[in-house]
Amino acid sequence: MNILLIGYGKMGQTIGALAAQRGYTVAGIVDRHFSQATIAEFTPEIVDVAIEFTHPDSAFDNVQACLRQGLPVVCGSTGWLHHFEEAKALTQEVGGSLFYASNYSVGVNLFFHFNEYIAAKMSHFGGYDVAVREIHHTQKIDQPSGTALTAAEGILHHFPAKTTWRNAPAETPAELAIISERTGDVVGTHLVTYSSAVDTLELKHEAHSREGFALGALLAAEWLPTRRGVFGMKELLDL
């Protein structure tokens, strides 16, 4: 499999190293700090799939460029989902392939699955409040994290007492608090906590390295090229 890496920061480098271990070829790298190459230089004859991990301000442009170039694209950038409906429409228009996940870790996606299950069950019992907390390294730009937002969306869908989220302590009972912390070189920790006067129930995922995210992105890259449409980890993992 020939891969185009778009973005060559910590995640791009980890994906590139793991791709080599799995016998894949990095056919090109597009990154303004590393290479002057552009997406337009790469065609489906050269590249089987593009993997995009960049910045909220550039992700949508990169996804559009890949789709118009006929390249299946696996996107892991967060903070651009206000353009997601446009990306879906373009994917349909060009008959392309787009895979998006806020987090590519298999463990995190099981965390999402169990988060929705617990929210649905907890909604039947009174006396509990729920909050989300996320902790990341100081270089992470978007806040709250895409993973925290996905967890929050799962709670809002299944826990009717919460109708909206707030990236701060909740000011009303209907608000779901998402508390964001940026410290050190923390890879990523996410917690969903249900608290009552008598007990606390907590669901936690803590990443120890970026390799879990890189592996998930490569699994998506292996899976995507034979398909057309917009997909995510639920389809890949059959959740």
Distances (CA, A) of 172 to 164, 168, 169, 175: 10, 11, 9, 6
Task: Indicate if 82 belongs to the active site.
Answer: no
Instruction: Tell me the Ramachandran region of residue 95: left when phi exceeds 0, alpha when psi lies from -120 to 50, beta otherwise.
Output: left
Task: Indicate if 205 belongs to the active site.
Answer: no
Q: Which of 99, 113, 136, 141 is nearest to 236 (CA)?
A: 99
Kindly give the residue spans of alpha helices, DSSP state H, lying in 22-103.
56-69, 84-94
- Of 88, 136, 158, 162, the active-site residue reads 136
- Of 82, 140, 158, 204, the active-site residue reads 140
Burial pattern 181-199, b for ≥16 Cβ within 10 A else e, equals eeeeebbbbbbbbbeeeee
- Looking at the annotation, which residues are catalytic? 136, 140
